[in-house]
Amino acid sequence: MRKRYVSLIIAGRVQGVGFRYAARTAASQLGITGFAQNQFNGSVYIEACGKPEKLDEFVLWCRRGPAMARVTQVIINQLPPFEATQFSIR
């Protein structure tokens, strides 16, 4: 099975609005593994792995986020393969 691995830096009003928890739910529904963590600068950092089409759907979700979020920027970088069995919050 072919997988893609990316990191996302999501900026805007993304902390204190349930972004990581909603991302975990979205990732779980799409079969995406990895993690999300808040950064000191107010952004959310995500490493995600999944089938390319599902990962594309997840990235689209991250561009919107949950209802209270206001995403202003998403930076995407390709990553080397990593192991994760679920999507966690750090």
Of residues 79 and 36, the one with the higher pLDDT is 36
- At 14-73, the pLDDT tens digits run 999 999 999 999 999 999 999 999 999 999 999 999 999 999 999 999 999 999 999 999
Q: Find the catalytic residue in 2, 4, 38, 64.
A: 38
Confidence of residue 1 (pLDDT cuts 50, 70, 90): low
Residues 6+ apart with CB under 8 A from 46: 7, 8, 10, 23, 34, 35, 36, 37, 62
Q: pTM value?
A: 0.93
20 is catalytic: yes
Please pick, among 20, 24, 41, 77, the residue that the annotation labels catalytic. 20
> Alpha-carbon distance 41 to 76, whole Å?
17
> How confident is the model at residue 38, as a pLDDT?
98
Listed by start position, the domains of the chain span 4-79
pLDDT at residue 29 in the model: 97
Domain 4-79 -> CATH class = alpha beta
